[in-house]
Chain A
């Protein structure tokens, strides 16, 4: 295994990841996030020491099969209780800021 390149995270990448993650970071947090992610990725690059060319990626450790059920509603109407946790509600629905102009 040769020398590994240190990862460099650009401002653009941090900006983009912030959009994906729906997080708003201030300048200081962005700098910290860059540093953290670079060092994490440098560490994660250790995985490249392993030849995994012919390995099938494993998402489940045991053989799992689809679990089917009839498409019928089994849970009751719990609207009022569920809405009781909502930060804002109106007319039996979750209230959110205007989504379309």
Chain B
């Protein structure tokens, strides 16, 4: 058995039992990276030497009994929009090509305190704007299941790195589906927590009211374990919440008897791939057979989520990205004539076209004369969408549906038609608008051999219900590894 095929929690146990050293685990991941990274490009930045050094430090602390947590010594990959002190943090953008943060994001720091070994920073869509990881300035990431397909996005590097076993687990961020959709495309599991569960301090903001950090890993147990570690009340993020309970791993129970699961009919209409539909409905049947009460219902307003989302996300992005002006950090243009020319040329040369497109749209919808018609209107629709979910959760514990309408798309097929690309987010964005938790986990494969993702949505701060449901479903099927990582194993 190869070391890299272990889950993060399995590896953590072996490290604790002294069956595997932290350095061995780190070297195993580095060897896997050296084998596959040339094909996949999951990482923007790798810190092999730093990881080796850190592995020895962590080992000492484990041996001294100072680090006893479940993930002590386990190598992790971090999405490149989370600040890591002294380690390049680019957001996959040219404008941050030389940015070395002076501090570490709170979620990452929580992992470090628990003994994580950071291997590197994963590729993403530039500033998390995209669903394919094709808008990265540092090249596209390929899907480990089929290199002609995208890994999804924006946390595509994180999802692909987990699937390719180039790390044991990863952090991603989710503004409109950016953890769940790549998890779905790469056949791994990812959780977007309730807004406020994980501190956003040190997460380079895209849409601040929607952004949330979460785990991507091989299974539900890993995700719950990581979430337990990264969630914290942080004074440095005034939207972070003091949770009453964060014992997410206590929900890892194989029992859904009496669990009320609602299936929104509106999630199964036009545009949904037939094979995805079948696999997801089959998952619902499996849960029903395990004792859950499964019912169809009308969620309503589903088709309004994407336009509302793009107005709000673009508006917040246009404001958040104003800070990249060539003064305090990052790229500055070489030739300019005065201050304003410096700002404009720096930004025009430093941002890619999808980022510029959203900044332009965001600036427009916030501009005087259009603010009410677009921005305020979108905030009102957001209120209606939240109400629709509130109503659904009066009846159901969990909402079940597909994560994305299709499996992973082919490389090079998405960027030419933005609206079509945005429609791929139809089942994920409303969850961010309403601030809810969602999980994506594998539930099958299509005829092309590409993974299909099942999405479970919970009410605010009810992560444990979706974790429990996901865990129960997961027990009915084995984790599948892409061919390319199986290597010589038969």
Contacts and interface: CB of A to CB of B under 8 A. Distances in A.
B204 to A, nearest CB: 13
Nearest to A52: B380
B318 A21 contact: yes
A21 B380 contact: no
Contacts of B367: 16-17, 20
A17 B322 CA distance: 13
A60 B462 CA distance: 18
A15 to B, nearest CB: 12
B356 A23 contact: yes
A23 B171 CA distance: 32
A96 B342 contact: yes
A95 to B, nearest CB: 9
B28 interface: no
Nearest to B321: A21
A6 interface: no
Given A23-B360, A50-B384, A87 B379 contact: no
Given A46-B303, A52-B381, A96-B327, A84 B332 contact: no
B364 interface: yes
Given A39-B419, A46-B307, A57-B379, A52 B338 contact: no
B412 interface: no
A94 B209 contact: no
Contact of A62 (B301, B347, B382, B435): B435
Given A40-B418, A69-B235, A52 B384 contact: yes
Interface string A16-27: 111011111100
A41 B418 CA distance: 12
Nearest to B194: A62
A23 B348 contact: yes
A25 B418 contact: no
A96 B339 contact: yes
Contacts of B13: none
B418 A56 contact: no
Contacts of B426: none
A22 B343 contact: yes
B339 A98 contact: yes
A9 B322 CA distance: 23
B196 interface: yes
B148 interface: no
Given A44-B310, A46-B304, A87-B331, A97 B380 contact: no
A36 B377 contact: no
A79 to B, nearest CB: 10
A56 to B, nearest CB: 6
Contacts of A81: 102
Contact of B304 (A50, A78, A99): A50
Interface magnitude class on chain A: 35 or more
B377 A52 contact: yes
Contact of B322 (A16, A22, A29, A44): A22
Interface in A38-82: 39-41, 43-50, 52, 55-62, 64, 67, 69, 78, 81-82
Interface in B292-312: 301, 303-304, 307-308, 310-311
Contact of B307 (A18, A33, A47, A56): A47
Contacts of B342: 96-97
B69 interface: no
A8 interface: no
B244 to A, nearest CB: 14
A82 B241 CA distance: 29
Interface string B271-309: 000000000000000000000000000000101100110
B326 interface: yes
A40 B327 contact: no
Contacts of B490: none
A21 B381 contact: no
B197 to A, nearest CB: 11
B336 A97 contact: yes
Max chain A C-beta neighbours (<10 A), residue from B308, B357, B380, B383: B380
A88 interface: yes
Nearest to A78: B102
A62 to B, nearest CB: 6
Interface string B13-52: 0000000000000000000000000000000000000000
A24 B345 contact: yes
B139 interface: no
B374 interface: yes
A85 B195 contact: no
A52 B433 CA distance: 17
Contact of A40 (B102, B339, B419, B460): B419
Contacts of B383: 55-58
Given A64-B239, A87-B327, A97-B342, 4 more contacts: A22-B340, A48-B377, A50-B384, A61-B433
Interface of B: 98-100, 102, 195-196, 209, 235, 238-239, 241, 301, 303-304, 307-308, 310-311, 318, 322, 325-332, 336, 338-340, 342-345, 347-348, 351, 356-357, 359-364, 366-367, 374, 376-384, 386, 418-419, 433-435, 460
14 contacts: A20-B318, A22-B340, A24-B348, A33-B360, A39-B418, A40-B419, A56-B383, A57-B376, A57-B382, A58-B379, A61-B382, A61-B460, A85-B329, A98-B339
Those 6 A-B pairs whose CB atoms lie nearest each other, nearest first: A61-B435, A57-B379, A87-B332, A58-B383, A52-B380, A85-B329
